[in-house]
Structure formats: structure tokens, C-alpha cells
Structure 1
Amino acid sequence: MSDMTNTIKKVSKNTDNAPKNPLSTQTVAFSHYNYISAQLPINTTTDALVSNSLKVQATQCLRNIKSIVESIGHVMNDVIKINIYLKDNANSDIEDDIKALDTVYAAFFQGYLPTRTIIAVAALPMEEALVQMDAVISNAEGTHPQATDEMVKVKNSTDNAPKASVSPQTIAFSHYNNISAQLPINSTTGELVAGGIKEQTKQCLENIKAILEEIDVPLEEVVKVNISLQDISDIEAVDEVYSSFFPKTAHRNYVPARTIVVASDLPKHALVQIDAVVSHSAGTAPEVDEKGYDIVIEANNTDDAPKSPLSTQTVAYSDYNHLSAQLPIDPKTGEVIKGGITEQAEQCLENIKTIIESIDHEMDDIVKVTIQLKDISDIDTVNEVYKRYFHSDLPARTVIGVAAIPMDALIQIEAVVSNAEGTPPE
């Protein structure tokens, strides 16, 4: 990335007070956000997992996040979003696990809870780990040359979407709104909507739409969607409903970037759960007064990477590009490449590299990577491939094991990329 004085710079930091990983940076700040790598319940003094109690492990994950946040001069109330990955456990129910988690969760946030997504996954990077968490932090001072900016977080809720005591529906900061994962809950009854996957998908998207309408933002402003499913065979039914909410029109000729995660279970045993990242062109006070113009969304596809009618390869808005999750697909054939985990990891990363280079960026501009693996034991092999693609400070990173991946792939990778030049007219 250029070192010109008018260019925003990525700032990567580690602290000795939280677990370190040679394949990731604990926190990567860029512009008005910090991305925090997934934290396992590791005690930094012993460098080992804490006891196999979910409460104890959840507490340790949050302590590690707190140590990282404080090491960069922030507090836990600056957390915008938390993703919580619970290990699927035949001996416990996800609802019981969430209740156990919530007995320790709120104590880390004094009066200002972040937006939240919870899913159960097939495996985590350490076999005895029961939980893993990553986070996004507001960075009110910005990164150079934005050091004088001071912005405030704005949380919102509406009675027309489900409310939760543990998370707000949406938090706006700078140019983005992060929406808490929406379950297919009818806000009137407080219960899962009747019906199957189509009805549940529609309810999730109606909830997101209602939240956005409350803050005067249309669905057209969504830049990234994350869909969690329990059954991979439901994808086609989900896509049928999804496309009715995000059609390409004369007003908007793109669809958001997108990631599909096959969860082992979801809260309330729902069949589907959806969260979203939304552009917020007005900014948040005092930015709304300082920058009265609208920053535009830039959506891009290249023929040299796999295309999908249901997602855009990368959607840029303000200081970030959000990439759709990349499968190990050969763009020439449209099929998953032949070979094992090494070849598939290479293809995913090549696809990401191609997309990034098509918008005049490079791999070292990545601030966050999330890797899904069908077999968590493949992580060492993936790491050998992964580290060849970066030459500067490594991104923040999350790795999860999932029960299945679209197209029966072994791996899927998504990324968030810093966008130093902003998007027009910035």
C-alpha cells in the first residue's frame, strides 16, 4: 500500500497479554474499525486451554478480547460486533450453551452490548475448545491520517423486528451499520415462524428489512450478507427467497457480497439465520456534519474469478471492500478443481488474489480472513499454503470446522480488504 501522507494506513498489533498466533495478527486497525482475530479460551500464562466448563472458557475468550482491546487504548464498550462459535456437543443443547454463555457475557460490557451472531460449528482449531469468539471494534480516532476524527456509535431498534436483551438490532458507526443475526422469529409472537426453510428465510430477511426501514436505509444499501444454514440441501430454497429480496434492478445493478455457512445448530434450532453489513452514507455524528456528501457503493466482478448471479465478488464502500466467500472453483470450468486440500486452499486464495488485484489492491491490504474447513485437521496443510500469499503483517483471522461446504468443497475463504483510496466521491 502506498506510504503517501494522505493515504490511510493499516495498523497491525499484538500484545503479550493475549494468545499469539504466527499465522494471524491479534488486531488490525484501518480507518474507523479494528478487526480482532478469533480468540480461543487460552490462558496466556499457561499457554493452555482453561477447564472444559463452557462458562470458564467463554470468560477466557472475552478476557483475551478485552486484553487486546485495552492494549490498543480502547474499552469493551467500543466493540461493535461479536461472532461466537460454539462447538457442537452431543452432550448439551445449544440453548443450554447460550444460557451458560450469557451468565458471564454481559459482565464484560457495561451498558453497551454489541451486535451478535451465534452459531454451533462442527469443530474448532483446538480439540477441547468449546467456544471461540472474534470481534469488530470501533476506532473513533481512525488510523493515520484520520487521527482527529471523533465519532459516536448509534444503536437502533424497532418493534417490527425481534428484540434481544443481549444485543441491539443494529449499531451504526462511521459508514457502516452492523446488524445482529436475525432468526426467523415473528416479532409479534416472539416465536419461530410456522413453516419450513422458505418461510424461515423470508422471516429472517423481513426482520432485516424492518430494522433497516427504522433507520431509513433500504435493502439496496446492504453490502454483505452472511447466511447460516443447518442443512446444505436447503441452499436452493434459500436462494429462491433471497433473490426476491435482492433483485438486480435499473436502480441497483448488483447484489451484495455473500457467505454461506453450514452450521451444526442454530439458536432456537432454527433452520436458517442471517446477518448483514450495511452501508451508511450519512455517517454517524459528528461525521454527518463534516461530510455531507454520499459515498457510493462500488460493486465489481472479474471474469478471472468465479461469478455467481446471487453475489458480487467484491463490494466496496468507503474504506473497505467486502468479498464474497470463495470456493476452490476454477473460473474457466466453473467446477471445483481436482486435488486435495492443498490444491483447494491454493485455488481459494488465487481467486481472492485475482479479485483483489482486479480492483488495484494486493493481498497485504486484507484486514480479516475467515476460513471454513470441512476437516479441521487440514489446518496445518492450509497454513503452509496460506502464509505464501502474504508478505507484510498478516490479517486478523478466524478458522472454523463445518459439517459441509457448498459444492462439496473441502475449504471456503472470505476476506475484508482495506480500501485506502475510499470510494467516490471520497
Structure 2
Amino acid sequence: MTSGIIKNSRNTEQAPLNAAFTQTVAFSHYNNISAQLPVDATSGKLVEGGVKVQAAQCLANIQAIVESIGHGLHDVVRVNVYLQNITDLEAVNEVYASFFASYQPTRTVLAVAALPLTGALVQMDAVITNGEGSGTQAPCDLVKIVRNAAAVPASTLASHSVAFSHYNHISAQLPIDARTGNIVTGGAKEQATQCLKNIKAIMEGIDVPFDDIVKINIHLRDLADLDAVNQAYTTFFPDSGIARTVGYMPARAVVVASGLPMDALVQIDATVSHGDGTPPQAVEDRHGIVIKPNNTELAPRSPVSTQTVAFSHYNNISAQLPIDLQTGNIVAGGVHEQARQCLSHIKAIVESINHVMDDIVKINIQVSNVADLDAINDVYATFFSGDLPARTVIGVAAMPHGALVQMDAIVSNGEGTPPAVR
């Protein structure tokens, strides 16, 4: 790892172990929990009994991991729920609500083409607060700021935004008009516009400008709608005069979902810099907040995203496709070569900001065929020399350029950004 960066990578036997990832990887004031399948840790087998039983097992596994490091589910700030079938959402919600009685974290829900275990109907990952910090980051109180905006559709199962330390997490926003409670009329462009309007309203409700977003995740039901979504997207970014001057775009990932709540065509969630911090983090001057975007010519560049965006003690890496820089096309070969190309792009980006691959705390992988996961894992392990990051893998029906695999990442950023320095 880079000098001064101390990650806490931990596993517990109370949850399923996997050689391809670490259950929980903490750095600074956040802890990243790998995706949990509905597997019983004692038997090592998929639990039987339907989606409710499986959802309970996923959440029990997350709870076991969280409690193994001296935390509780009340410390969770974000949950991602991946369903095999979106019609199972109501059943999953019944179970989900029983695990979060005190408050609701931010949440994203989508159906995917496949999960990395035959018979699995649901998978969940999480992000939790890490008040004890790591390495040079001093301990802090576990004070979260949970808020909802009146101008945005509310949910009994998710808060609009949950801030802790110097990051703010925003729940996935569906294209719902708050006045009617229904999906807006029109196609993907109109729906994307509404999603972004809802995110903007949430941010305005907490007095945060739109250009404080550091990472955006877009979930589409049809990849053919991406151009229409981008037309809407580029009317929101860059948002301010300063951002337009430098052409700032957040880091971004686009994932094809097999289904979305309310039969929406698109949903969007976001991670936002939170310069005011939470007690006892010092309040920073809003004008002193420094977000560091960076691109390198050694990885594919995009007009709608920045390769890496750093704020405070984390660096957010945009989703990387297996594109050959020389040809601009998908690299020749199969999934083995494509996985290597994705990881090589991530490595080039990470090294361009003076970090190393072992500084990564979380990787998200989308594959077109989950049967390819063993081949991907063979390549994956060769890019790390220490403990492997936390990880989430989902199967998707399509990816840009017909790719077989896509990856994005979160990297520890020990040097911080002014004024939140080490």
C-alpha cells in the first residue's frame, strides 16, 4: 500500500468466507462490506425457503460482519439490494424493515440478470460508518445526519440522504413526480431528467450545490436508452460557472438492470462531498472544499465522466470497460483478456494519482455471464499483493460495446484533499 495508508481488512467466520474478497475493508471513517449472498456460514450452502428467507440470510450475514468489528446495523449508511426478480421486492421489503427499526439507511434496489450463485434470489452489500478511523485518521463520534426533502417522493424504507464524516449518500431516485406520486410521462430522457431533478432537490434541501457530487450510478433497463439519458445528463453537469470552466463531471458507472421499482426505465443514485462534516469533524468553509478530478491518457477518457474524483480520504473511479486504447475497440480475446484490460485501466488511473492497487477498498464487477467469474478471478488476484478489496459481482444483460465485463472502484486517499488533510 501507499505509505501512510492503513486499511483494516477483516473477516469473520460468522459470515460466509470467500477467497476472492475480504468481507469488510475499512479506511478512514468508512467501512465497505462485500456483497452477501443468502449462504449459511455454518453449512456453506444456499438457504432454502424462498426470497424472504434468503433476504433474511443476506441481512444476517451483513449484521454478523458489522457486529464482528464492534458496530451495529444502526451504523449502516447505505445498502444496495440486487434481486433476481423485481416482483420479489415487496417480500424482501417486509424482511428488510425488520432489520432497520431505528432508522433507514440510504438504499438502491435493482433486479439483475444473474447473481453469482445458482439459486440465489437476492444479494446485498453495505457501507457503514467507521468512527474509530484507521491509521492517521483520528477516532470520531458516530454521529450521522439523516435528512429527507419535502419536494421529493419519500420512502418508509430509505432516507433521502445520510451524511457521515465528509461524505453524503443519496438514495436511488426514481423518475417520480412528487406532485402526483407517479412516474413522469415520456421516455428515458424525461425519466432521467426527473431522477436528476429529485437528486438536485435533495441536495438543495441540505444547502449543497450539484457540483459537489463525486460519483453517480445510473441504472438503465435498456442500454439503447443511454444516448437519451446522456442528453438529459449533460444539461445538469457541469452545473456552476467554476465547474463549467474546468469541465467538471463526476465519476460514473452505468449498469443495465433487468428490472427497476415501479417499472421505471432509469434510476440514479449519488455520492456527495460533505464539507461541513458531522460532529466532531470540523466544519469546513464551503468555498474551501477541494474536489480533485483527474484523467490520464493511459486509460479511456469520456466526455460524460471523469476517470477519478477525489474528495477527503476517498477516491472514486469511474466504471472501466475493456477497451484497447490503440484501437478504441473492445480488446481482442475472451473474458480473461477483457478482465485484464479493465483492471489495467484501473491500475493506470490509480497509479496516475500516485496510488497502488492495494489502496483499493471496494471493487464492483458487472459480467455478462456469471459462469465467467472463475476466469475473471484468475486474472483479478494477480493485480493485488495484499488483502483483497471488498467486492460486489452482478450479472447484467448488456454492456456498452458488447463488453463481457466492466469494473469500477473506490480507493483510499490518505493524503486527503484540502482542508481535510491527513
Aligned to 2:353: 359
Map 1:58-207 → 2, pairs under 5 A: 58-88=55-85, 94=86, 96-207=87-198
Task: Return the letter of the residue paired with 1:81.
Answer: R
Are the equivalent residues in 1 in contact too, given 2:255–2:399 (CA < 8 A)?
yes
Residue 383 of structure 2 is matched in structure 1 by 389
1:306 counterpart residue number:
300
Aligned to 1:406: 400
State the match for 1:225 in structure 2. 216
TM-score normalized by the length of structure 1: 0.95
Give 5+ residue unaligned stretches, structure 2.
Answer: none
Cα RMSD, aligned residues only: 1.3
Secondary structure of the 1:335 match is coil
Q: Does 1:41 align with 2:38?
A: yes
1:214 maps to 205
Verify: 1:243 aligned to 2:223, yes or no.
no
Give the AA of the match of 2:164.
Answer: F
The amino acid of 1:231's aligned partner reads D
Taking the aligned partners of 2:183 and 2:145, their CA distance within structure 1 comes to 28
Shift of 1:250: 4.6
1:148-169 CA distance string (max 9 Å, x none): 3224100111111110000100
- Is 1:373 matched up with 2:367? yes
CA distance in 2, matches of 1:380, 1:8: 30
| 1:20 alignment counterpart | 17
**Counterpart Cα distance in 1 of 2:304 and 2:143:** 34
Distance apart, 1:198 and its partner CA: 1.0
For structure 1, which segment, 146-155 or 128-137, has the greater mean C-alpha deviation from structure 2 after superposition?
Answer: 146-155
Alignment partner of 2:362: what SS?
A: strand
In structure 1, give the amino acid aligned to 2:335.
Answer: I
Q: How far apart in 2 are the matches of 1:30 and 1:51?
A: 35
Alpha carbons 1:52, 1:128 under 8 Å: kept? no
- 8 Å CA contact retained: 1:257, 1:322: yes
Amino acid at match of 1:40: L
* Sequence identity percentage: 57
Further displaced range: 152-161 or 247-256: 247-256
TM-superposed deviation, 1:323: 0.4
Question: TM-score if structure 2 supplies the norm length?
Answer: 0.96
1:332 to partner: Cα distance: 2.8
**Which residue among 331, 336, 350 is the counterpart of 1:337?**
331
What is the Cα deviation at residue 334 of structure 1? 2.0
2:405 partner amino acid: I
The 8 Å contact of residues 2 and 359 in structure 2, kept in 1 or not, is answered as: no
Query: What secondary structure, in the 3-state scheme, does the structure 2 residue paired with 1:36 have?
Result: strand
CA distance in 1, matches of 2:22, 2:115: 18
Distance 1:2 1:219 in 2: 31
Cα offset, 1:52, TM superposition: 4.4
Closer, same or farther in 2 for the Cα pair 1:186/1:231, shift >3 Å?
A: same
**Unaligned runs of at least 5 residues, structure 1:** 89-93
Question: Does the CA-based 8 Å contact 2:2-2:356 persist in structure 1?
Answer: no
Counterparts of 2:5 and 2:75, CA distance in 1: 21
Q: State the SS of the aligned residue for 1:136.
A: strand
The 3-state SS of whatever aligns with 2:176 is coil
The Cα offsets for residues 75-122 of structure 1, whole Å up to 9 and x where unpaired, read as 00000000000013xxxxx2x411101111111123111100000000
Equivalent-residue separation in structure 2 for 1:130 and 1:364 (angstroms): 32
Match of 2:313 in 1: 319
Alignment: residue pair count: 416
Shift of 1:141: 1.9
Distance 2:40 2:263 in 1: 31
Deviation at 1:387, TM superposition (A): 0.3
Matched, 1:347 2:338: no
Deviations 1:48-70 (A, max 9, x none): 00014000000000000000000
1:51 partnered with 2:57: no
d(CA) in 2 for partners of 1:314 and 1:405? 21
CA contact (8 A) 1:11 1:143 kept: yes
Contact 1:178 / 1:276 at 8 angstroms: preserved in 2? Answer: yes
